[in-house]
Amino acid sequence: MPIYEFECLGCRKRFEYLVRHCDEEVACPHCAKTKLRRLISSFSFTSQDSSGSITASSSSGCSRCTSHNCSSCGH
């Protein structure tokens, strides 16, 4: 069950929602409107290399972004 990030086209609030079924109707928890835009979410993870050092990596939705935060990207 994926967690999707949405932006409400009515009140412009962003929220995450656990989608249980592909045909499930999602409503904004702030204003209850169903006109939503599904956003591209970035992810990050940490791993440990052979020397024991912890490294972090992340992915953004666009190759031009350096902040890895698509909400502040502007592209």
pLDDT tens for the chain, 75 residues long, are 678 899 999 999 999 998 888 788 999 999 999 999 999 766 666 677 777 776 655 544 444 445 444 555 554
CA dist 71 and 60 (Å) reads 10
Residue 63 in domain: no
Question: Rounded to two decimals, what is the model's pTM?
Answer: 0.53
CA dist 34 and 25 (Å) reads 7
CA dist 42 and 39 (Å) reads 10
pLDDT of residue 40: 79
Residue 38 in domain: yes
Q: Assign residue 63 a region: left if phi > 0, alpha if psi is -120 to 50, beta otherwise?
A: alpha
Residue-range definition of the domain harbouring residue 11? 1-44
Residue 25 in domain: yes
Residue 73 in domain: no
**Which residues are CB-neighbours of 42 under 8 A, at least 6 positions away?**
58, 59, 60, 61, 68, 69, 70
Residue 50 in domain: no
Residue 56 in domain: no
Residue 65 in domain: no
| Counted domains in the chain | 1
